[in-house]
Structure 1
Amino acid sequence: MQSKWRGSHRWIDRLDKYLVQHVSSLPGGNHDDFFRRLSASANHGKLWIAVAVGMAAFPGKTRRAAVHGLIAQAVASAVTNGVFKTLLPRARPLPEHLPVFRFVHPQPTSSSMPSGHSASAVAFAVGVGLVRPAIGAALAPVAAGVAYSRVHTGAHWPSDVLFGSALGAGAALVTRHWWPVRPPIPITRRTAALAPGLPGGEGLSIVVNTLGGSFTEETASALRDVFPKAYINTVDPGEDLKQQITETAEHPGTKALGVWGGDGTVGAAAAAAVERSLPLLVLPGGTLNHFARDAGTGSLADAVAAATNGAAAKADIGFVTAERGLAGSPAVSELIMLNTSSIGLYPNLVRRREHLQPALGKPLAGVVAMFRTFAAGTPITLTVDGVRRRVWIAYVGRGRYYPRDHAPLLRPVLDDGVLDFRIFSADESFARLRLLWAVLTGTVASSSITHLREVTEVSIDAGGSPMALAVDGEALAGVRKVHYRVVPRALVYYTPLG
């Protein structure tokens, strides 16, 4: 193995021996133990995995940088050990080249060219640095130390380290193409609207759904404290929620309708408010209340401030027409959509994502949830605007959601006049593998299985097989056809952002 290398790369061999002689002439000391331990800590990537685990404790870009670093490291390690060590066989340094107290024992038996430790170290540091430059700069000396330690302990020749480092940097850059920089999220923008001020809740009628997941007796007391002049209708289990919303909206002296509950309750209240030309105050409550978050009333203090000052804005609404039952005599349901609707595996994905989100953060939880969902799920056949497709998910958002991939989370503009329509297709060859690869590499938005467009209306037909439809978290079973359309700026809502 040594003779083959020397025959074609004699000048590299001479330079390596020259550099190793200089390392060998360094005096012994505590630094020998340091480099030996540093080199051992990077065996099998343990050092970088530990760093990534620590970074994962910080959500956002830091956690994303850790994931990218690990992906780059995995690619660099696979290419180095699985490809180049076979193509470039080379003997490692011998004991006579370095003092015996420095020489690593036992010495690895694989090819010396290239250095896998160096490839992994540089791949991780550069991969992290491409997402979080400051952390990448802090890791650079550690990666350099690991790379040098392989020469200091006699495990590799300097050229092995140099080539391995180049492979690591290349792996980080290649995987950055897989893990593209997300486009910036637009700033929050609102279109101001006229609405009456409601000091103390005067003229405000509030409907409270006690079936909301976070309802307690303290909830009603808190609302009475901040809105002492408001009419508050607490809807108990067993009562007709829609009827109670109607009665609340028609209460004498009502100038604005308030609602406490989850997304489904808010949607029903929005329908009543639009029908009666009332502004809507969405209060933070219920198991989920995405509209309150997007409206800026995610806290009771913000909602009180907006209502007191009469600060309001306009929002689009979506109308959903769903046909259920037999084809000859369908039952038609009309629903208001304030947030999102989905068909297929999306409800399972959302449940998994929200379960993982406290521990992993939103972006990484979305990746893990999608990977688990599609690994076991099966596609459905739908006709979308007359085109027949096999799909994993059909997703409709009322307004543009960000990021533009599999885990839409934020909606900075509520009156952009569009439906955010996304399909994850199963028509392509090896669709499941493509989808899982896109999830793993963070390229769902640019994958051939993803179809993104903005529309003002869309029709979906399940044919003979009924589909499960979810609108703002409310499930409808046995749906055969569904039509979506957007009505621009039909709802006036209170917001401190107005």
Structure 2
Amino acid sequence: MRHVSDLPGGNHDDFFRRLSASANHGKLWMAVAALMAAFPGKTRRAALHGLLAQAVASAVTNGIFKTLLPRTRPLPEHLPVFRFVHPQPTSSSMPSGHSASAIAFAVGVGLVRPAIGAALAPAAIGVAYSRVHTGAHWPSDVFFGSALGAGAAFVTRHWWPVRPPFPQTSRTWTEAPELPGGEGLSIVVNTLGGSFREETAAALRDVFPKAHIITVPPGEDLLEAITAAAEWPGTRALGVWGGDGTVGAAAAAAVERSIPLLVLPGGTLNHFARDAGTGSLKEAVAAASRGEAALADIGIVRAERGLPGQPEVTELLMLNTSSVGLYPNFVRRREHLQAALGKPLAGVIAMFRTFAAGTPVTLSVDGVPHRVWIAYVGRGRYYPRDHAPLLRPVMDDGVLDVRLITADESFARLRLLWSVLTGTVAGSRITHLREATEVRIDAGGAPMALAVDGEALAGVRSVEYRVLPRALAYYSPHT
């Protein structure tokens, strides 16, 4: 304090006074976070973690330690009066809340985006020092507050862990017919796909002038159209434009006839095209023209409906995912929000909206009873390993990705919402993650709603899943 008191006066006094004031109530860091939130992905996630760390640091500093460690603020005789902050705070001097918040935000951001954290470090250190320069705190208050802030950043990082990197994309390549100009290719276009436009069919004819293209308008039988396309004379490969349900129906026809499938980007959702590497028309054309293809596992879903003792069995092919419970509502909300908010934040908000008023269902999973918010089965191992699976780097790993989020524990809803907020769903007691080659889910006496690749099936009493390894050949670009 004597050293700071002996510093000559100047413009730096106004600078530190204004810097200190800008950080009152965390305003400076909230403004920085708002700016970072404009950039989706890790930058937005870093901003959220910084704010979470700041909130924890501020609560611990002001709510606990200022009460436990009462201390008088520096007196006017300790610094030149022109340097003193006005009005001086009246709470305990130990520890510095400004320092705790500043360091918590900068370190919290830096744990997610190190470069941005390093850029914020001078501002955070400047705010911490300004509290001594303006006579608001003793240096030891600042050091202790800074330590609390750094600790809050690391503790909340444990709550909201860094996602491990996704595995590299891997393919089991296979031979497939080369289809220059679409020769030997039959394509089915579902006009009910959410992104269908009048220009869609024309665009496909431009890139595949030799292909046989069937456009299915509303009211016509899609399965009949797929069968007709697959059996069209000279067909060596089947193409499909539509959502996950349409792609699943086409895949079943391709597997039955031992011909490769070309999945074109289209429909409301088309997860298989994304995972197959044909998320753009250019990529799909390149793979088909060069005959580049790979093998994928498929899932077989056997659902029993009808009255007890009089079961009605429906067998479906599953390319992507199936679910029971609130998962379909969660996915719809997440997909709606992610364009504006990015996937991580959209997942958190969608989870809160879905489960704040949702009701768990009672199920038996492989003979073990549970009260379940979500029963999710993915065809293949999805990442990340939490409540919001997004990507599937390997298409033929031979497993079912089984995820349950249960309500078996006391205070189930609070546990769920807290784990979503802190990013600890994967490690929470409410979450059960495993892999299997066969799974059975039984609803007991009450029928359940089942979703398979986005298509709903009502009145299901039990469902069984199994894997057919490398049963589907699909076009996928090598690069």
TM-fit CA distance, 1:50: 1.1
Letter aligned with residue 375 of structure 1: A
> Is 1:89 aligned to 2:89, yes or no?
no
Paired residue type of 1:68: H
Aligned counterparts, 1:260-409, within 5 A: 260-409=241-390
Q: Does the Cα contact within 8 Å between 1:341 and 1:471 map onto a contact in 2?
A: yes
The CA deviation at 1:427 is: 0.5
Instruction: Give the letter aligned to residue 189 of structure 2.
Output: V
Cα deviation digits, residues 380-427 of structure 1 (max 9, x gap): 100111111001100111101000011111100000000100000110
* Matched AA of 2:208: F
Q: Where does residue 415 of structure 1 map in the other structure?
A: 396
Give the C-alpha shift of residue 371 in structure 1. 2.1
SS across alignment from 1:486: strand
Q: What is the match of residue 35 of structure 1?
A: 16
Question: 1:50 aligned to 2, 6, 31, which one?
Answer: 31
Question: 2:108 is matched with which residue?
Answer: 127
Shift of 1:181: 2.1
1:209-254 Cα deviation digits (max 9, x unpaired): 1111111121111111111111111111111111111111111111
Q: 2:135 aligns with which of 125, 132, 154?
A: 154
Give the match's secondary structure for 1:232. Answer: strand
Q: Tell me what 2:161 maps to.
A: 180
CA contact (8 A) 1:282 1:297 kept: yes
Give the structure 1 partner of residue 230 of structure 2: 249
Name the amino acid aligned to 2:390: L
Provide the C-alpha distance between the structure 2 equivalents of 1:372 and 1:52, rounded to a whole number of angstroms: 23
Q: Which moved more, 1:256-265 or 1:321-330?
A: 321-330
Equivalent residues of 1:339, 1:398 under 8 A apart: yes
1:472 aligns with 2:453: yes
Letter in 1 for 2:267: G
Q: What residue is the counterpart of 1:458 in the other structure?
A: 439
Question: For residue 249 of structure 1, what is the amino acid of its counterpart?
Answer: A
Return the letter of the residue paired with 2:240.
V
1:111 to partner: Cα distance: 0.7
Distance 2:211 2:3 in 1: 84
Q: Distance in 2 between matches of 1:224 and 1:486?
A: 36
The DSSP-based 3-state class of the residue aligned with 1:281 is: strand
**How many residues end up aligned between the 2 structures?**
479
Counterparts of 2:120 and 2:206 in 1: how far apart (Å)?
53
**Secondary structure of the structure 2 residue equivalent to 1:288:** coil
Aligned pair 1:59/2:40, yes or no? yes
Instruction: Report what 1:112 is aligned to.
Output: 93
Give the match for residue 423 of structure 2.
442
Distance 1:173 1:301 in 2: 44
Please give the alpha-carbon distance, in whole angstroms, between the structure 2 residues aligned to 1:477 and 1:219. Answer: 32
Q: Please list the CA deviations of residues 136-173 of structure 1 after superposition, one character each: whole Å capped at 9, or x if unmatched.
A: 11111111100011111111111111110111111111
**Cα deviation, residue 332, structure 1:** 1.6
1:141 aligns with 2:122: yes
Cα separation, 2, equivalents of 1:88 and 1:371: 38
Query: Does residue 215 of the first structure (1) align with residue 193 of the second (2)?
Result: no
Partner of 1:493: 474
What amino acid does structure 2 have at the position aligned with 1:481?
A: S
Structure-2 separation of matches of 1:380 and 1:69: 36
Q: Which amino acid in structure 1 is aligned with residue 464 of structure 2?
A: H
For residues 301 and 52 of structure 2, the distance between their equivalents in structure 1, rounded to whole angstroms, comes to 41
What SS does structure 2 have at the residue aligned with 1:189? coil
Query: Which ranges of structure 1 fall in alignment gaps of 5 or more residues?
Result: 1-19
| TM-score, normalization by structure 2 | 0.98
Q: Give a deviation string over 1:100-141, Cα, whole Å, max 9, x none.
A: 222111111111110000001011111111121111111111
Conserved 8 A contact 1:295-1:497: no
CA–CA distance in 2 between the matches of 1:88 and 1:188? Answer: 54
> Contact (CA 8 Å) 1:389, 1:425: kept in 2 or not?
yes
1:201 corresponds in structure 2 to 182
Match of 1:240 in 2: 221
Partners of 1:129 and 1:220 in 2: CA distance: 48
Look up the equivalent residue of 2:63 and give its one-letter code: G
Moved more, 80-89 or 176-185: 176-185
User: How far does residue 87 in structure 1 lie from its aligned partner after superposition?
Assistant: 0.3
Opposite residue 142 of structure 1, the aligned amino acid is A
CA offset at residue 483 of structure 1? 0.8
- C-alpha distance in 1, partners of 2:59/2:189? 57
Equivalent residue for 1:165? Answer: 146
SS for the counterpart of 2:81 is coil
Look up the equivalent residue of 1:72 and give its one-letter code. A
Runs of 4+ in 1 over 3 A off after TM superposition: none
Per the TM alignment, residue 197 of structure 1 is displaced from its structure 2 partner at its CA by 0.5
Q: What letter is aligned with 2:18?
A: R
Report the CA distance between 1:96 and its aligned residue.
2.2
Match of 1:431 among 403, 412, 415: 412
The Cα shift of 1:59 comes to 2.1
Q: What RMSD, in angstroms, separates the aligned Cα atoms of the two structures?
A: 1.1
For the residue of structure 2 that corresponds to 1:446, the secondary structure is coil
Deviates further, 156-165 or 100-109: 100-109
Please state whether the residue corresponding to 1:172 is helix, strand or coil: helix
Q: TM-score, normalised by structure 1?
A: 0.95
Gaps of 5+ in 2: none
Q: d(CA) in 2 for partners of 1:68 and 1:214? A: 35
Secondary structure, counterpart of 1:93 in structure 2:
coil
Q: What SS does the corresponding residue of 1:444 show, helix, strand or coil?
A: coil
Secondary structure (helix, strand or coil) at the match of 1:297 reads: coil
Q: Distance in 2 between matches of 1:218 and 1:359?
A: 26
Q: CA deviation at 1:347?
A: 1.0
Cα contact 1:425–1:450 (8 A) shared by 2: yes
